[in-house]
Amino acid sequence: LLDVVMPRQFPWATMRRRPPGLWRYREALPLGATAEPVALGEPETPLVDISAGGPRVYLKLDFLFPTGSFKDRGAAVLMTKARELRVARVIEDSSGNAGAAIAAYAAAAAISAGIYVPEGASPAKVAQIQRYGASVVQVPGSRADTARAAMEAAQAAYYASHVWNPFFLEGTKTVAFELWEQLGRRVPDWVITPVGHGTMVLGLSKGFLHLRDAGMTDAVPRLVGVQAATCAPLVQGSRGDLTLPPVVEPGVTQADGIAVGQPTRWRQILRAIADSAGFWTAVSEEEIRESHLAWARRGLLIEPTSATATAAYQRLAAEGVFGGHQRVVVVVTGSGIKTASQRL
Ligand SMILES: Cc1ncc(COP(=O)(O)O)c(C=O)c1O
């Protein structure tokens, strides 16, 4: 596994003069000075105050991107890098949202894309990927079989994997910069997010540490990682001192975006949560369903995968985990429109 190490610069006086959105932070991104962003109009995603007395609570609507999930942050930066490197073809493997994001940004960059998906991936997400012009290869067997097939194909192409390619995480880290800015150039006390392969939680961790090392904040938020109880290798792994990767056989879950039985970056993810003084929690299928429905009844259709985080917030708030003066952000990672026709 590789990581990008770059100077912790954050020239705010220059950045603030640009339009809002992830490209305003380009000095904090590992792109050449002349690299032209592969852009599809990425907004600064809204931060909505849902406080109801007690702590200040915000939803970060990070699904309001062109393809309907936060994965566009990673895909936009990764495909910008790929174009800078004059890549002609990329390979990615994904159960849905990351594949759609890579397919869309590959199309925007005029790079051909092959997306490997496990057989049984959400038909709506597969159709979305195909519509962007990517070739889709459905691989029988497990998610790990899909990854193996993609890696083989990537011998002859650029592996634009959201899991392995470190430029993806450089894109997702911009969510931390936006939160800092939207909260009046202060970081929140807590951030709650779903975790599968960890691109959001690692992005949050990298972004907040970047801000701290650049002198923009003294503190970093405590990160809460949420998994579905039927597929929670990291929740289990966080309980012991591991030398081997945590592995589970994914059970049935509505949270298909985080049904990852063997997270590749497990060590890094566990460390990110522990170093932030955060913790892990698992939510049941009933909690996911209830939270998904409750938000839909308030007008916000969120992906069931994202409802793991809203459900966890609900329970933790009831348990009194958050202090009255604290600021809590729940990241809403995916749009519910893609999965609206699925049975709950
Ligand atoms: C909607 C949604 N939320 C959260 C995640 C979790 O992201 P990660 O697997 O990078 O931890 C995913 C991953 O696909 C997703 O699709």
Element (H, E) at 23: none
Neighbours of 342 (CB within 10 A): 14
User: What does the pLDDT read at residue 340?
Assistant: 87
- Ligand 1 in contact with 333 (CB < 6 A)? yes
User: What does the pLDDT read at residue 343?
Assistant: 79
- Ligand 1 in contact with 98 (CB < 6 A)? yes
Ligand 1 nearest atom to the CA of residue 269, by list position? 11
pLDDT band for 344, please (50, 70, 90 cuts): confident
User: What does the pLDDT read at residue 14?
Assistant: 98
Q: How many residues in total does the chain contain?
A: 344
Report the separation in Å between the CA atom of 267 and the middle of ligand 1, taken as the mean of its atom positions.
18
Report the separation in Å between the CA atom of 333 and the middle of ligand 1, taken as the mean of its atom positions.
7
DSSP-assigned letter for residue 87: -
User: What does the pLDDT read at residue 184?
Assistant: 98
Residue whose entry in the numeric block shows the structure tokens 């519910």: 336
How does strand 56-61 pair with strand 327-332? parallel
DSSP assignments along 106-155, one per residue: HHHTT-EEEEEEETT--HHHHHHHHHTT-EEEEESS-HHHHHHHHHHHGG
- Identify any residues that bridge with 331 across adjacent strands, giving them in sequence order: 60
User: What does the pLDDT read at residue 183?
Assistant: 98
pLDDT band for 95, please (50, 70, 90 cuts): confident
Pairwise CA distance, residues 278 & 223, whole Å: 5
Q: Residue 270 corresponds to which amino acid? A: L
User: What does the pLDDT read at residue 143?
Assistant: 81
Q: Is the pLDDT of residue 19 over 90?
A: yes
